[in-house]
A and B are shown apart, each in its own frame.
Chain A
Amino acid sequence: MSDASTHPKKKPVTVRQLRERRRILRSIGAGIGVVGAAMLGFFPVVKHWMDRLRPPGALEENKFLAACIKCGQCVQVCPVEAIHLGDLDEGFGVGVPYIDARKQACDFSCDAVQCVLACPTGALSHDVDVKEQVHMGVARLSRPKACLARQGKGIKGTARGDDFPGLHRYMEVDRWTPIPIKDHPYDLELCDLCERECPIEGAITIQRDNFDLNDLRGTPVVFDKCVGCGMCEMICPVDPPAIVIDIRKRWEDV
């Protein structure tokens, strides 16, 4: 120190100081890199790159992303393996559960919303005790012209083809175990699969278009009991489906 006061001239930088300076800069750079990489997760969330159907009982989307600890216990308890976890392209939705209803919908074959019971943080709200209290979205007849019932057509054979892997619990076949949909062919004069397989009583019915006994045509009508589980979207035999779930929509907004 006394050296510095007697020689006010600037000292040359030693190799050691230079190395230390580089080390600090490198540390700052790496720190910024890590935080920056994490912040990239904002984009998919804020820009809504992907709107996901969340499992039963999920809180409002932002709260859900905050409360979910990304453990996947909900995935493990689901008897029809409907729940999957988000990947890197979902930003802060990495590891957050979602349901792809067309591939495998939640058909409540667990009876007691197992995923909600499994959730350790309440991201799937424990306020939900029974399936009727769930609000995942609302079903909507998006392509009425494609709807078989609207055309007065029936269905013979499997609903989704012979290689569709989706599962559903048919109460009349096995009360306790879901079976592959491909193992359960139909033979119906008029397609009413959305109503027939809907797990919520009174959520959807096919209403006859007229009283002419020879004209079978009818329209699927969704009621406020609909919880948006996506069973109708999965079972709909036309491709792409005539009925879809409006994710997170509430009956009040319809």
Chain B
Amino acid sequence: MMSMLSSIAEMFGRTPGKKPDDSAYNEGARTLHESKRGAEGKKERVAAIKAERDLHPSHKWRNRRWASILLVNALFVVSFSWDVQLIEGSLSASRVFGFHMADLNAALQVMLAFKEILINLVIGTATVLLLWWLLGGRTFCSWVCPYHLLSELAEYLHLRLASMKMVRDLPMHRGVRTVLYVIFAGLAFGTGYTVFEAISPVGILSRAMIYGPGLALIWVFVLLAFEVFVSRRAWCRYMCPIGLTYGMVGITSPVHVTYNLEKCLHEGDCRTVCLVPHVLEVTKKGFALREDTDIGADCTRCGMCVDICPTDSLTYDVKGLNKLL
């Protein structure tokens, strides 16, 4: 329970805590930590790390994820341009085989600004809420959001430039996102306009793909340029209120990435590829309180850590379905 509360606090911007006290470990974790601490344990770990050095990281989940983003967005485009009518609308609201769906953040903006709620919007919101609760909340970000894909490209460029010492990642405080969330909710309620929708890169990109590009793409390019030259993955990491909305949905979701202390060699590759590395604090040596830990609410379930982990310490986990899988 405490770990869930702290994962929520960290999602809202709290900096992860320091290494826990020995007394906080449960019995199994204490034994594992102690065995890793000894000279013997260290030697074993170094040998194991050397042994797996040649292993290439897999791209299994990344490829599946990219396929998912492309497929979902292509379905929107094809439905309109070829008039197939599978998914009508765009990512902000749609009808899938006739069922209403509404983006939770867009729906929230409309409800706050309009202050009247139509039954269709309630149905759409509830459907999407249930869907993303089942699928893991921020799963939306990494498996559907078209901006995420572009942002990954920007991140690649950023890292290339950084390795050439041409740019330097300037980190920011994650609390900005919470502040923006509150500000945009307040603005929608106060002004009666859906202020955030004017700059939502998800809505802009989705509409540009389906209905044709427009000037609004300039804003998306500004964000991407900021991510390439100034701050790595800045929008998704520190700013996007949509991410926070879906993060809240995913707090109690059955789908998550789970961490096994026993297998972990504490190399830290997972934290270097992660969009939200604060959720992987637990993988630092001496941080895990139990043998198995679920990764926190802010995790986008993108699977980059699962792909890169050479020891399978990080794996996908679906509560209640593990026995079936």
Contact = CB atoms under 8 A, between A and B. Distances in A.
Interface of A: 23-24, 26-28, 30-31, 34-35, 37-42, 45, 62-63, 65-73, 75-77, 84-85, 87-89, 91-92, 94-95, 118, 120-123, 126
A87 B214 contact: yes
B321 interface: no
Interface of B: 79-80, 88-90, 92-95, 100, 102-103, 106-107, 110, 113-116, 118, 120-121, 124, 170-173, 175-176, 179-180, 183-184, 187, 191-199, 203-204, 207, 210-211, 214-216, 218-219, 231, 234, 238-239
Please indicate which of the listed interface residues A37, A65, A72, A75 has the most CB atoms of chain B within 10 Å of its own CB: A72
A24 B197 CA distance: 26
Nearest to A69: B93
A31 B193 contact: no
Contact of A38 (B92, B110, B198): B198
14 contacts: A27-B172, A30-B176, A30-B238, A30-B239, A34-B180, A35-B184, A66-B194, A67-B113, A73-B93, A87-B214, A91-B198, A95-B204, A120-B89, A121-B114
B106 A69 contact: yes
B8 to A, nearest CB: 20
Contacts of A71: 89-90, 92-94, 106
Nearest to B83: A76
A76 B211 CA distance: 9
A41 B195 contact: yes
A95 B212 CA distance: 11
B121 A120 contact: yes
Contacts of B170: 23, 26
Q: Is the interface of B mostly helix, strand, loop or mixed?
A: helix
A63 B113 CA distance: 8
Top 9 A-B pairs ranked by shortest CB distance? A71-B93, A66-B113, A41-B198, A122-B118, A88-B215, A87-B214, A27-B173, A27-B172, A67-B114
A92 B80 contact: no
Nearest to A91: B198
B90 A37 contact: no
B207 A72 contact: yes
Contact of A87 (B116, B210, B215): B215
B193 A75 contact: no
Nearest to A89: B215
A35 B93 contact: no
A43 to B, nearest CB: 11
A33 to B, nearest CB: 9
Contact of B194 (A35, A70, A73): A70
Contacts of A30: 172, 176, 231, 234, 238-239
Please indicate which of the listed interface residues A28, A42, A85, A126 has the most CB atoms of chain B within 10 Å of its own CB: A85
A21 B94 CA distance: 44
Contacts of B92: 69-71, 95
Contact of B199 (A24, A34, A73): A34
A135 B193 CA distance: 22
Contact of B93 (A62, A63, A121): A121
Contact of B193 (A24, A45, A88): A45
Nearest to A29: B172
A73 B89 contact: yes
A121 B121 contact: yes
Contacts of B231: 26, 30
A135 B210 CA distance: 29
B102 A95 contact: no
Given A30-B239, A120-B93, A85 B211 contact: yes
A135 to B, nearest CB: 19
Contacts of B88: 73, 76-77, 118
A25 B82 CA distance: 49
A55 B14 CA distance: 46
A28 B187 CA distance: 18
Contact of A95 (B176, B192, B195, B203): B203
A231 to B, nearest CB: 23
Given A120-B93, A120-B102, 20 more contacts: A26-B172, A27-B173, A30-B176, A30-B234, A31-B179, A34-B180, A35-B184, A35-B187, A39-B187, A41-B198, A42-B193, A67-B110, A68-B110, A69-B194, A70-B90, A70-B106, A71-B89, A87-B216, A91-B198, A94-B203
A17 B313 CA distance: 35
Contact of B183 (A35, A42, A65, A121): A35
Contacts of A66: 110, 113-115, 192-194
B178 to A, nearest CB: 10
Nearest to A33: B226
Contacts of A72: 89-90, 207, 210-211
